């Protein structure tokens, strides 16, 4: 059984996640979604903002949270030109689910984390499309569901990268042997 | 981190489900306000004014890379292109003088028939800077906005025909709903016999449809459809589409016609917004907002 240590260990003690790290990385992820992606692969581009948001909700739930999800969602809504609150609602829901099972996700290694997160990442795209349909948009392009799949596939790479950059130990090694 | 992550830090803080519920409520409220009452355009424009420059700045390195790539083009290629462009220029110049002659003749004929001349429009050339990341609709963002005098409701055309309509205006950019968007419609007239119909988008880039066509309407594949100008938004006489196929009635009392848009909807980078001249502007704006409210 995974029992988290009473005090932070190793790298988490010397390089704890700070507010600056969280905000800067989220800002970078958001700008990544603003890049001029090619029209042909646009529907494949994962929602980097959501991935980073979930990452921080797993690693440092005290620094992220539903409020942050809400404001990032509103930003995404404006950037994408969709209805106000569409992505905000989806982000809030995803964050809520992740926070509910945060203890379990924190203890898992990256492959298992990916398995647990993929329904959430896919579900977010499905929720956005379904909500759009409910709000009277007649015609949804279901190809956009693929973005959730790409996000799930890219999760290990993203987690590894952000771990390296912010100098945190990967989740599985935080638990004592 | 020995605390449970979502346990309240202080007693007065709300629990996780309560906070989630509150945010969901706010989101639903925002959704309803935006979808039904169009109440948040000011907030949207404000946030967009911050995001837009960032977006432009992020696109710059790519443009520079493209520019550097263009620098290393061989001399032969340039010479060939120069030759081709010269030829093209001559062709265009010839076409232009033709057009001027036809236009002069046209005004003369109009005067002869004592018809009131159509309200003038000024072309505002603009560039497509982004295609919208919205899976539900066909929209593009152009680089002309409120600061350039653009207003919602104005028609957008390219060299070949009608492209769409300005639906949302930001300070430095505006959003154009393409004709192929499902919520867009345009009143048109068959060039061959003057039959008046309404054409709708289908959500696909190269199809338009006439949804409720009279079973006996005289419409044939190959017919050209022009705007009739009776809605007060689109000026009369702009080419819109060519009929491809007529589908006979099937379980309904109406036939259906499939058409191909003539304007480069979703193909070109440069388009023109038709800015109504001062006298017509007020009327058009009024009609434009009315039709915006009606369409969703």
CATH number where A97 lies? 1.10.1760
Of A34, A84, A143, the CB nearest to B54: A34
Q: Is A139 exposed, middle or buried (0-12, 13-18, 19+ CB in 10 A)?
A: middle
Residue in B255, B245, B248, B241 with CA at minimum distance from that of residue B208:
B241
| CA of A35 vs chain B CAs: smallest distance (Å) | 6
Residue B191 CB neighbours (<10 A):
14
CB-based contact, A138 to chain B, within 8 Å: yes
Hunting for tokens 């309509």 — which residue is that?
B165
B37 versus A1: the higher-pLDDT residue is: B37
Residues of A in contact with B268 (CB under 8 A): none
Domain that holds residue A95: 11-168
CB-CB contact of A33 with A76 (8 Å): yes
Q: What is the DSSP string of chain B?
A: --S-TTS-SSTTSPPHHHHHHHHHHHHHHHHHIIIII-TTHHHHHHHHHHHHHHHHHHHHHHHHHHHHHHHT--HHHHHHHHHHHHHHHHHHHHHHHHHHHHHHHHHHHHHHHTPPPPPPEEEEEEEEEEE---TT--EEEES--GGGT--TT-EEE-SSSEEEEEEEE-SS-EEEEETTSTT-EEEEEETTT--EEEEEE-SSTT-EEEEEE-TT----TT-EEEE--TTSSSPTT-EEEEEEEEEPPSSSS-EEEEEEESS-TTT-SEEEEEEEPHHHHHHHHHHHHHHHHH--
CA nearest A75 in B: which residue?
B47
Which of A26, A34, A63 would you mutate first to test chain B, the one with the most B CBs within 10 A?
A34
Q: What is the pTM of this model?
A: 0.59
CATH topology of domain B122-296: Thrombin, subunit H (2.40.10)
Pick from B23, B130, B296: which is nearest to A92 by CB? B23
Q: What does the alpha-carbon distance between residue A84 and residue A80 come to, in Å, rounded to a whole number?
A: 10
Using CB atoms within 10 A of its CB, is residue B103 exposed (0-12), middle (13-18) or buried (19+)? exposed
Q: Where are the domains of chain B?
A: 16-68, 73-117, 122-296
Q: Which of residues 24-43 of A touch B (CB under 8 A)?
A: 31, 34-36, 39, 42-43
> Has residue A175 been placed in a domain?
no
CA-nearest of B197, B207, B244 to B222 is B244
The answer to whether the Cβ–Cβ distance between B133 and A86 falls below 8 Å is no
| A58-107 confidence digits (pLDDT tens) | 988 888 889 999 999 999 988 887 888 889 999 999 999 999 998 888 88
Q: Provide the number of structural domains found in chain A.
A: 1
A2 touches chain B (CB under 8 A): no
> Residue B279 has what pLDDT?
47
Question: Least CB-CB distance to B132: which of A81, A83, A102?
Answer: A81
What per-residue string of b and e applies to A2-18 under the rule 16 or more CB within 10 Å gives b? eeeeeeeeebbeeeebe
Query: Is there a contact between B1 and A8 if contact means CB atoms under 8 Å apart?
Result: yes
Is position A125 within any domain? Answer: yes
In order along its 296 residues, chain B shows pLDDT tens digits of 444 555 556 656 678 889 999 999 999 998 888 877 777 778 888 888 888 888 888 888 888 887 787 777 677 788 888 889 998 888 888 888 778 778 877 776 665 454 333 457 777 888 888 776 666 777 888 888 888 889 888 888 877 788 889 988 988 889 898 888 888 889 999 888 888 899 998 877 788 888 888 888 888 898 899 888 887 788 888 888 999 988 888 788 888 899 998 877 666 667 888 888 764 445 544 444 444 443 43
Q: Is residue A24 part of a domain?
A: yes
Q: Quick check: is A5 in a domain?
A: no
Gap between the Cα atoms of A92 and B113, Å rounded: 65
Q: Domain for residue A2, yes or no? A: no
The CA dihedral of A88, A93, A97, A100, to the nearest 10 degrees, is 80
Nearest to A36 among B17, B59, B182 (CB): B59
Contacts of A70 in chain B (CB under 8 A): 23, 26-27
The pLDDT of residue A6 is above 80: no
pLDDT of residue B140: 86
Contacts of A125 in chain B (CB under 8 A): none
Determine the residue among A57, A73, A78 to mutate to test chain B binding: the one whose Cβ has the most chain B Cβ atoms within 10 Å: A78
Give B149 to chain A, closest Cα distance, Å: 21
Contact call for A141 and B139, based on CB within 8 A: no
- Give the A window 109-128 contacts with B, CB below 8 Å: none
Query: In this complex, do A141 and B136 lie within 8 Å of one another by their Cβ atoms?
Result: yes
Q: Of the candidates B158, B161, B164, B198, which has an alpha carbon nearest to the alpha carbon of residue B178?
A: B164
């Amino acid at each position: 059984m995974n029992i988290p240590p009473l005090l932070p260990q190793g790298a988490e003690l010397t390089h704890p996640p700070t507010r600056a790290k969280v905000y800067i990385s989220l800002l970078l992820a958001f700008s990544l979604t603003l890049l001029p992606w090619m029209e042909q692969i646009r529907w494949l581009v994962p929602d980097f903002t959501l991935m980073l948001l979930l990452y921080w909700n797993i690693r440092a739930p005290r620094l992220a949270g539903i409020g942050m999800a809400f404001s990032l969602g509103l930003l995404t809504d404006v950037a994408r030109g969709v209805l106000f609150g569409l992505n905000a609602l989806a982000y809030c829901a995803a964050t809520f689910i992740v926070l509910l099972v945060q203890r379990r996700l924190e203890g898992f290694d990256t492959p298992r984390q990916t398995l647990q997160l993929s329904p959430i990442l896919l579900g977010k795209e499905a929720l956005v499309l379904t909500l759009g349909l409910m709000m009277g948009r007649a015609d949804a392009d279901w190809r956009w569901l693929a973005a959730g799949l790409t996000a799930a596939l890219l999760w290990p790479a993203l987690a590894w990268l952000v771990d390296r950059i912010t100098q945190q130990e990967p989740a599985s090694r935080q638990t004592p042997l | 981190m020995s605390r449970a992550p979502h346990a309240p830090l202080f007693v007065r803080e709300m629990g996780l489900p309560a906070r989630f519920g509150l945010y969901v409520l706010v989101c639903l409220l925002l959704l309803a306000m935006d979808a039904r009452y169009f109440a948040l355009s000011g907030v949207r424009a404000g946030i967009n004014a911050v995001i837009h420059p960032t977006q432009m700045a992020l696109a710059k390195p790519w443009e520079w890379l493209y520019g550097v790539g263009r620098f290393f083009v061989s001399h032969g290629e340039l010479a060939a292109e120069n030759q081709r462009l010269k030829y093209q220029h001559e062709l265009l110049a010839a076409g232009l003088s033709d057009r001027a002659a036809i236009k002069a003749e046209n005004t003369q004929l109009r005067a002869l028939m004592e018809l009131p001349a159509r309200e003038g429009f000024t072309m505002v050339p603009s560039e497509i800077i982004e295609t919208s990341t919205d899976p539900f609709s066909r929209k593009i963002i152009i680089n002309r906005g409120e600061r350039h005098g653009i207003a919602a409701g104005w028609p957008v055309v390219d060299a070949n025909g009608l492209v769409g309509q300005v639906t949302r205006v930001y300070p430095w950019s505006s959003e154009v709903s393409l004709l192929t968007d499902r919520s867009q419609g345009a009143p048109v007239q068959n060039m061959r016999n003057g039959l008046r119909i309404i054409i709708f988008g289908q959500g696909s880039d190269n199809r338009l449809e006439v949804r409720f066509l009279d079973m006996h309407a005289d419409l044939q594949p190959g017919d050209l459809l022009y705007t009739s100008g009776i809605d007060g938004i689109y000026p009369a006489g702009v080419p819109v589409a060519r009929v491809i196929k007529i589908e006979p009635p099937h379980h309904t009392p109406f036939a259906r016609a499939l058409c191909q848009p003539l304007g480069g909807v979703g193909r070109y980078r440069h388009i023109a917004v038709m800015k109504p001249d001062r006298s017509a502007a007020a009327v058009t704006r009024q009609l434009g907002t009315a039709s915006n409210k009606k369409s969703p």
